Amino acid sequence: MQDLWLELKAEYELHGGPGKLWLAEIGKIAKQVVSKKIRDRLPPSVFGFTSWDKDDLVQLVLTDRLLGRNQAQYVFDTADSIDDARKILRNEINFVLADHRVPNQVDNVWNNLEQELVQLGWKSGNLDSEEVPEIEDQIVRLILSQKRLRNRGSQRFSPLFASAILEQLAIQIVEIGPNLPSSLLIKGIRTALTIISPSLSIEDVNSVDDSLELSQHAYVNSEESLRMERSQYGIRRYELAQDICEKLSSETLEIIFQRAQGATQSEIGAVLGLTRQTARYRIEEAQQQLSDEFKLLELDIEECRELLSAMLDILGTRLSEVNA
């Protein structure tokens, strides 16, 4: 591995800047970053892209950061190993994404919530690192418990919470801590909206689940599944997926999607305004309904995975269209 770093340094010295070896290394890291964005179901439009193309990202890293800000020289001067270099290059990729990120629902909620917090005397402060996980979990659960406005369909920034709800939310947050870090609050909003946001983007057919305990994050949200949806037999699978979505109720679809995203029973109950016990029964019913639909089609476990992936991909595509 150290030999690779020596080769990269030698190439840099030879050309007076990054060459093909550098681009190849950045490409590998960019592919990992893009794969995670796809798994997290983040549409490329969030960052101003029309599609998730790692080559576009590599080009921006090269022109905007490594050359434009002379960060290639910084990598060359400060990295002692390929691991050090990769960490810096990954940061450069994230800086590019941050620079190109367009406003989204997280920004909208935070901008409105911040105003309410400031009126209550809140100022962003610091928090003991040991307290962060527990406080962050409290914030996420608090946000999930708030009553949401109905989605307005095609409006990209349709309000998520009424003003009165945000006022109450701000009061509850200040009660937890009057000087909680803004970064922690924004992360809590992002985590909560990752769970509930798919239902904000689709009117009648909203979301889908991970029934039969299919490997939700390992397969459903993987690049491999997304490629398969557009394979030689993908059209028929999409038709079946659409049929199932149209048969199930919006509540059932929301439960299914949230389960696929890893939401707990308590979190789903908070979103739907149900007790944990009632939520458990509704989740079981939703999973059984989906299982019954799969059984009617006489699908094996692999076909179930593929069909469920198609359902989630349909909903993810719609989400991208709304955010475009």
Residue 205 maps to a domain: no
Largest separation between any pair of C-alpha atoms in the chain: 67
Residue 206 maps to a domain: no
Q: Which residue is associated with the tokens 């390929």?
A: 82
**Residue that terminates a domain, selected from 81, 100, 119:** 100
Q: Is 101 helix (H, G, I), strand (E, B) or coil?
A: coil
The pLDDT of residue 86 is: 93
Residue 26 maps to a domain: yes
Residues 89 and 109 grouped into a single domain: no
Residues 314 and 230 grouped into a single domain: yes
Residue 231 maps to a domain: yes
- Identify the burial level of 88 via C-beta atoms within 10 angstroms of its C-beta, where 0-12 means exposed, 13-18 middle and 19 or more buried: middle
Residues 216 and 305 grouped into a single domain: yes
The pLDDT of residue 195 is: 61
Number of residues that make up the chain: 324
Among 142, 136, 133, 174, smallest CA distance to 266 is for: 142
Q: What is the pLDDT of residues 139-186, one digit of tens each?
A: 988 888 777 665 443 333 445 677 788 899 999 999 999 999 998 999
Q: Which residue is associated with the tokens 């979190």?
A: 267
> Which pLDDT band holds residue 133 (cuts at 50, 70, 90)?
confident
The pLDDT of residue 185 is: 93
> Which pLDDT band holds residue 315 (cuts at 50, 70, 90)?
low
Residues 70 and 174 grouped into a single domain: no
Which of 8-12, 114-118, 140-144, 151-155 bottoms out in mean pLDDT, i.e. has the lowest? Answer: 151-155
Other C-beta atoms within 10 Å of 284: how many?
Answer: 12
Residues 226 and 305 grouped into a single domain: yes
Residue type, 247: K
For residues 52 and 46, the answer to whether their CB atoms sit within 8 Å is no
Residue 266 maps to a domain: yes
Residue 40 maps to a domain: yes
Q: What is the pLDDT of residues 77-87, one digit of tens each?
A: 999 999 999 99
Residue 251 maps to a domain: yes
**Residue that terminates a domain, selected from 48, 72, 100:** 100
Specify which of 102-111, 193-202, 204-213, 218-227 reaches the highest per-range mean pLDDT.
102-111
C-alpha 241: how far from its chain's center?
22
Residues 89 and 110 grouped into a single domain: no
The pLDDT of residue 46 is: 67
The pLDDT of residue 94 is: 85
Question: What are the DSSP calls for 228-288, one per residue?
Answer: HHTSTTHHHHHHHHHHHHHHS-HHHHHHHHHHHTT--HHHHHHHHT--HHHHHHHHHHHHH
Rounded Cα–Cα distance for residues 11 and 28 (Å): 18
Residues 190 and 250 grouped into a single domain: no
The conformation of residue 103, written as its DSSP 8-state character, comes to: P
Residues 47 and 126 grouped into a single domain: no
Rounded Cα–Cα distance for residues 320 and 323 (Å): 5
Number of domains in the chain: 3
The pLDDT of residue 2 is: 64
The pLDDT of residue 267 is: 77
Domain range enclosing 271: 211-323
Better pLDDT: 87 or 108: 87
The answer to whether residue 255 scores a pLDDT higher than 90 is no
Q: Is 176 helix (H, G, I), strand (E, B) or coil?
A: helix
The pLDDT of 302-322, averaged and rounded, is: 60
Q: What is the CA radius of gyration of the chain?
A: 22
For residues 221 and 39, the answer to whether their CB atoms sit within 8 Å is yes
**Residue that terminates a domain, selected from 150, 181, 200:** 200
Q: From residue 117, how far is each of 10, 143, 180 by CA, in Å?
A: 53, 14, 10
Residues 24 and 63 grouped into a single domain: yes
The pLDDT of residue 209 is: 34
Residues 216 and 146 grouped into a single domain: no
Residues 178 and 138 grouped into a single domain: yes
Q: What percent of the chain has pLDDT over 70?
A: 73
Phi, psi torsion values for 27, nearest 5 degrees? -60, -40
Residue 95 maps to a domain: yes
Other C-beta atoms within 10 Å of 18: how many?
Answer: 23
